[in-house]
Amino acid sequence: MPHPEPLYDVAQLGHVELLTPVLDDSVRFFTGVYGLDLVATEGDCAYLRGWGDHDLTTLKLTSSANSGLGHVAWRAVSPQALERRVAALEARGIEGTWTEGDIGHGKAFRFTAPGGHLTELYYETEKYRPAGDKVPALPNQPQRFTGRGAAACRIDHINLLVPDVVTTRTFMDDTLGFKLREHLVPGSGQGEVGAWMSLMNKAHDLALTREPADTQGRLHHLAYAVENREDVLRAADIFMEQDVFIEFGPAKHSRTQGFFLYVYEPGGNRMEIFSGGFHIFAPDWEPVTWNTEAGGRSTAWGLDVPASFHAHATPPLS
Amino acid sequence: MPHPEPLYDVAQLGHVELLTPVLDDSVRFFTGVYGLDLVATEGDCAYLRGWGDHDLTTLKLTSSANSGLGHVAWRAVSPQALERRVAALEARGIEGTWTEGDIGHGKAFRFTAPGGHLTELYYETEKYRPAGDKVPALPNQPQRFTGRGAAACRIDHINLLVPDVVTTRTFMDDTLGFKLREHLVPGSGQGEVGAWMSLMNKAHDLALTREPADTQGRLHHLAYAVENREDVLRAADIFMEQDVFIEFGPAKHSRTQGFFLYVYEPGGNRMEIFSGGFHIFAPDWEPVTWNTEAGGRSTAWGLDVPASFHAHATPPLS
Amino acid sequence: MPHPEPLYDVAQLGHVELLTPVLDDSVRFFTGVYGLDLVATEGDCAYLRGWGDHDLTTLKLTSSANSGLGHVAWRAVSPQALERRVAALEARGIEGTWTEGDIGHGKAFRFTAPGGHLTELYYETEKYRPAGDKVPALPNQPQRFTGRGAAACRIDHINLLVPDVVTTRTFMDDTLGFKLREHLVPGSGQGEVGAWMSLMNKAHDLALTREPADTQGRLHHLAYAVENREDVLRAADIFMEQDVFIEFGPAKHSRTQGFFLYVYEPGGNRMEIFSGGFHIFAPDWEPVTWNTEAGGRSTAWGLDVPASFHAHATPPLS
Amino acid sequence: MPHPEPLYDVAQLGHVELLTPVLDDSVRFFTGVYGLDLVATEGDCAYLRGWGDHDLTTLKLTSSANSGLGHVAWRAVSPQALERRVAALEARGIEGTWTEGDIGHGKAFRFTAPGGHLTELYYETEKYRPAGDKVPALPNQPQRFTGRGAAACRIDHINLLVPDVVTTRTFMDDTLGFKLREHLVPGSGQGEVGAWMSLMNKAHDLALTREPADTQGRLHHLAYAVENREDVLRAADIFMEQDVFIEFGPAKHSRTQGFFLYVYEPGGNRMEIFSGGFHIFAPDWEPVTWNTEAGGRSTAWGLDVPASFHAHATPPLS
């Protein structure tokens, strides 16, 4: 059932937990090469953030037998909005549980979304407070720019594989207010295979791609943003010099028009360095349907998508 | 009185009307040099838009004895939101009138904001529908990219001079939900001289600067965005080649961190080409106070602000 | 026989003549999309130049039944150097003829180089003199920057297919002073398949690639340079919008490290938009041998080379 | 007396020795912020290079009571060219001495040029050979790109203050083959106040500016190049974060059209981060005279030159 008005109860992708079978290697990659800062470690977990993230932590790495998504967490715009969204979830029959929180955030409503991904909704966060040589020259910046590695700036979006794109995107819209911006419906009768959704002004905070295997809950990729396309090109040089496998890019997506670069972190999870993409200010944005008639091009300039981009996800199929 | 929750009833800067004493010259500049498209002309008015604007028109130029602002128009997120905001304005004692609309939009509530600027609030718009050689390769783009002149892409923000910054920004927050992101309060006891406010994820949709003269209703500048900083540098070359006076930039602002370039259009109004700026995703953003302690730097890299940037506004003082 | 000292008798790639079976379409592409200026037309020929070319003409398009290279012309650094190089060619047994010149240049020594390409060597040129609205703001620039289409700036390098790379590159070095900068010698015993040579500070003015077919005299591509990598990305958008087939790129070459983009002009000839590449200042540069041990990577970031890039050349095989 | 033909006996700016009263601070700045690599230390000297420099060392820092230039060294294209140039210097009455060489290069002819700058001419150099984690992914690159600090890539040009610009530039042309590319001759009868000269394809390897004081031998600035304008903008952020005084830029020069950024290293010497600039391929380049008629603009986009840029040089006036 469509909302009577655009719903702005959810603010942003707050943080993501990734599982990795090689925690130390993953931490080394994310800090030294991808360019995040290590904020805390606790047990088998490490907490990180980008230099442009205002929250204390946006990435949690957890040691695990397999790679993949631990959970994805969305931040509500207010305590009241959190309550409203939990009520909407429960009205939908979702059975969730409240957690006490984690390093960087307070209590969270935890549930499994259609498609099998563990999801959290929360409001209370701890902001990052720079000190010492982290204090920036500009007080509107969360910390000093250091330029280490690819210097990934801030958490941007996540792409999840789901068995049925329409089911999941409808659920995310109905319960949380994710707005459909673009979807891919090839003309061959196979139905909708991709959807790009966002909360406010971005082209996407969440992408849903059809899971090709008989499984669920898998991760396609997690993306951090950088400021310019030149930063993406520079990241490619950094990855090349550090022997990081570059799967795809730098190039320009047709959907979202973002400038992308995909690599695998040592644990096997696909990570993107992303810049740009168009912005959406119209509250009555008309979803764009990509089909055979609309060209259906995968990338803006015609670059072919490598087969692994369709086949690889985490955890890998056993 | 602070809102109990973040308010998202207003979506974006919809369009702006600028007055010019040399309409033909202004149209020539905006189309041939600044890079907008002419959409329609009617009487003494011309209607334009950027190639990345999804609405039919974002700039109206009106022939007038003086330069300056005709009116500034904000788009609500829904018909209901429009009603709520009008009710809030009326509760505040604002006396406005409903207009029948204009080329590109439907009925609008028109009133004078504290500071003297004619302001409209509206919801209904006409979307731009590309045809012929305007149809883009990517259907998520409103029209084909042509790259003419500085190729200004989309309307971005406006800076207005107001006698009392705190009064106007409080009003804009209370009635329309503009969120204070940064303000400038020099340590010398002169009070607040600048405020940067936004609606959703941008660093600013509206900037308010203290009016130095004994007048009101004046325009500091109107900005269109381009995608990259290189586009701003390229625009500087274009302006140089076309003998357009470059007042300030390209350089990086400290507030908003935007990459800027200011010129005067033939009618005398200051126009900006803008790129970047940080984004705000936190619903509980803490306004940044720039004062002597915070460095108070005017531009990020130390470039001095030219005197004209503080002195020139439109209409000029007689 | 190696030169006793580095030889600097040849200055630059002066101009190139391309053959096209669709002259009008080619002229339309080169002026409207690729961004060159039309300087003159004469009979079945059109003469063009980039906005950053200091000579009157750098590209001649000639109507012909087939596409391909008409001739490639190198400019000597002085009349005396021209004489020395012609003497060296003749000492090598080359039989050439002197032509009276063409639009844009004076008398030229014309001969066929090993590999079958018609080649000219000349000194006298006519410089472009801007007038009217072509006069630039900066007098060290040959003309006003207009920014039309991809705005190809200046002629940069050419890639020719030759049956035997070592034979041709040795000849070009011995007679004209082309310095070997890099060559590709895959470890599989197939010998040298590519060589990159330059005259002064560039990574390459001339590239030689092994001709896969039993023919000679074919063109792989001609390149014009732009100032920045962002200009290459922008060109890709321009080509996309104009339905120009993008074969390869934008991406970064491993050899020369140039940032490239390849398209076909309507006549079928492959054209590159190129930016960057490393510079060579050492007079004793040690040629870099790319082989299996050196990684042998085709592009810096791992992008695969499309099959057509190896197969397509002009004229096409009948 | 003009050369009968363009002379290409000198290849490049080889290395520069800077004096600093705070050697440790200067080393810290050049390695940690400016981004050079420390190659060796010996006594009161430190030897550095950019990650894109092919020679072992391009900058020597020497502890001294004052800041300023130790010496500037130009590399000949061959041993024979070195002999020819020394003969030309001696024929001109220059009395020089041969030094045994230094870390990174062999014997050098050392003399004082008109204007008072200690100058070396040499041929033999030691190339940098990367090992361990310095080995680059691309063998045509001297070492791995690390991206530390502003990541200054390679030595580019030097600007020296001289009492008489015409005298010095004529000498540098006559004896070493520096070609005049542009000069500044304001219309006010004060004569030539600046000259930009280069050896091969660059817009300048050497700039000469009129010394305003009654002294000689002073340094205006030394520049290293970076690949893109975005790298210059990024360097500005790095300098800002590290509290390095930014004197001028980023902006675009009118002469050379280079994109510049000037800071002072801790010893007081002015250092530039430079990108771009036009290239010169014509062997018969006509020097551009900048005077009142040619606009005489100091920077391309109209940015004013700060007073310190004319007044500050090293050593400072006592």
Q: What is the pLDDT of residues B138-160, one digit of tens each?
A: 999 999 998 999 999 999 999 99
Q: Are C288 and D127 in contact (CB < 8 Å)?
A: no
Predicted local distance difference test score (pLDDT) of residue B1: 61
Instruction: Check if A217 contacts D (Cβ < 8 Å).
Output: no
Q: Mutation test of the interface with chain A: which of C240, C297, C301, choosing the one with the most A Cβ atoms within 10 A? A: C301
Q: Radius of gyration over alpha carbons of chain D, in Å?
A: 19
Q: Are A144 and D243 in contact (CB < 8 Å)?
A: no
Residues in C touching D227 (Cβ below 8 Å)? 276
Residue C146 · residue C51 · CB < 8 Å: yes
Measured over the CA atoms of residue A253, residue A256, residue A258 and residue A260, the dihedral's sign is negative
Interatomic CA distance for residues C61 and D318, integer angstroms = 64
* Å between D39 CA and nearest CA of chain A: 21
Q: What is the pLDDT of residues A152-171, one digit of tens each?
A: 999 999 999 999 999 999 99
- Report ipTM (2 d.p.): 0.96
- Of B37-41, C184-188, D307-311, the range with the lowest mean pLDDT is C184-188
The structure's pTM equals: 0.97
Residues in C touching B149 (Cβ below 8 Å)? 147
Pairing of strands B59-63, B68-76: unpaired
Q: What is the pLDDT of residues B220-262, one digit of tens each?
A: 999 999 999 999 999 999 999 999 999 999 999 999 999 999 9
Distances (CA, A) of C147 to A74, B87, C144, C236, C258: 44, 49, 9, 14, 22
Predicted local distance difference test score (pLDDT) of residue D68: 98
Q: In sequence order, what are the beta bridge partners of A290? A: A184
* pLDDT above 70 for A295: no
Q: What is the pLDDT of residues D58-98, one digit of tens each?
A: 999 999 999 999 999 999 999 999 999 999 999 999 999 99
Instruction: Check if B302 contacts A (Cβ < 8 Å).
Output: no
Q: What is the mean pLDDT of chain C?
A: 96
Chain C partners (3+ C-beta pairs within 8 A): A, B, D
Q: Are B137 and C240 in contact (CB < 8 Å)?
A: yes
Q: Are C145 and B228 in contact (CB < 8 Å)?
A: no
In chain A, the percentage of residues whose pLDDT exceeds 90 is 93
Q: What is the mean pLDDT of chain B?
A: 96
Residue with more model confidence, A2 or C9: C9
User: Which of B5, B81, B139 shows the shortest C-beta gap to A294?
Assistant: B139
User: Which of B230, B246, B259 shows the shortest C-beta gap to D301?
Assistant: B246
Residue C61 · residue C43 · CB < 8 Å: no
Which residues, numbered 16 to 45 in chain B, qualify as contacts with chain A under a Cβ-Cβ cut-off of 8 Å? none
Predicted local distance difference test score (pLDDT) of residue B66: 96
* Å between B204 CA and nearest CA of chain D: 21
Predicted local distance difference test score (pLDDT) of residue D293: 58
Average pLDDT (B169-193) is 94
Residue A62 · residue A18 · CB < 8 Å: yes
Which residue on chain B is closest to C240 by alpha carbon?
B137
CB atoms within 10 A of CB A192: 18
Instruction: Check if A133 contacts D (Cβ < 8 Å).
Output: no
Q: Are D237 and A144 in contact (CB < 8 Å)?
A: no
* Å between D153 CA and nearest CA of chain A: 14
Q: Are A246 and C302 in contact (CB < 8 Å)?
A: yes
Q: Mutation test of the interface with chain A: which of D234, D242, D243, choosing the one with the most A Cβ atoms within 10 A? A: D234
Angle at A177 between CA A171 and CA A178, to 5 degrees: 75
Residue B49 · residue B36 · CB < 8 Å: yes
* Å between B64 CA and nearest CA of chain A: 31
* pLDDT above 90 for B291: no
Q: What is the pLDDT of residues C60-113, one digit of tens each?
A: 999 999 999 999 999 999 999 999 999 999 999 999 999 999 999 999 999 999
3-state secondary structure chain C: CCCCCCCCCEEEEEEEEEEECCHHHHHHHHHHHCCCEEEEEECCEEEEECCCCCECCCEEEEECCCCEEEEEEEEECCHHHHHHHHHHHHHCCCCCEEECCECCECCEEEEECCCCCEEEEECCECECCCCHHHCCCCCCCCCCCCCCCCCCCEEEEEEEEECCHHHHHHHHHHHHCCEEEEEECCCCCCCCCEEEEECCCECCCEEEEECCCCCCCCEEEEEEECCCHHHHHHHHHHHHHCCCCEEEEEEEECCCCEEEEEEECCCCCEEEEEEECCECCCCCCCCEEECCCCCCCCECCCCCCCHHHHHCCECCCC
Residues in C touching B147 (Cβ below 8 Å)? 147-149, 234, 237-238
Chain A partners (3+ C-beta pairs within 8 A): B, C, D
* Å between C117 CA and nearest CA of chain A: 32
Q: Are C283 and D139 in contact (CB < 8 Å)?
A: no
Q: What is the pLDDT of residues C17-71, one digit of tens each?
A: 999 999 999 999 999 999 999 999 999 999 999 999 999 999 999 999 999 999 9
Average pLDDT (A166-191) is 94
Interatomic CA distance for residues B94 and B108, integer angstroms = 15
Instruction: Check if D196 contacts B (Cβ < 8 Å).
Output: no
Residues in C touching A237 (Cβ below 8 Å)? 300-301
Interatomic CA distance for residues D288 and D56, integer angstroms = 35
* pLDDT above 80 for C297: no
Interatomic CA distance for residues A272 and A158, integer angstroms = 9
Chains A–D, number of C-beta pairs less than 8 Å apart: 36
Residues in D touching B251 (Cβ below 8 Å)? 250-251
Predicted local distance difference test score (pLDDT) of residue C178: 98
Q: What is the mean pLDDT of chain A?
A: 96
Angle, helix A229-241 to helix C229-241, in steps of 10 degrees: 120
Instruction: Check if C282 contacts B (Cβ < 8 Å).
Output: no
Average pLDDT (D14-19) is 98
Average pLDDT (D30-36) is 98
Q: What is the pLDDT of residues A105-134, one digit of tens each?
A: 999 999 999 999 999 999 999 999 999 999
User: Which of D81, D202, D228 shows the shortest C-beta gap to C228?
Assistant: D228
Q: What is the pLDDT of residues D130-167, one digit of tens each?
A: 999 999 999 999 999 989 999 999 999 999 999 999 99
Chain D partners (3+ C-beta pairs within 8 A): A, B, C
Chains A–C, number of C-beta pairs less than 8 Å apart: 41
Instruction: Check if A237 contacts D (Cβ < 8 Å).
Output: yes
Residues in A touching B203 (Cβ below 8 Å)? 140
Tell me, which fold does domain D10-311 have in CATH?
2,3-Dihydroxybiphenyl 1,2-Dioxygenase; domain 1 (3.10.180)
* Å between B269 CA and nearest CA of chain C: 24
User: Which of C230, C246, C301 shows the shortest C-beta gap to A302?
Assistant: C246
Q: Are A234 and D147 in contact (CB < 8 Å)?
A: yes
Q: Mutation test of the interface with chain B: which of C34, C233, C241, choosing the one with the most B Cβ atoms within 10 A? A: C241
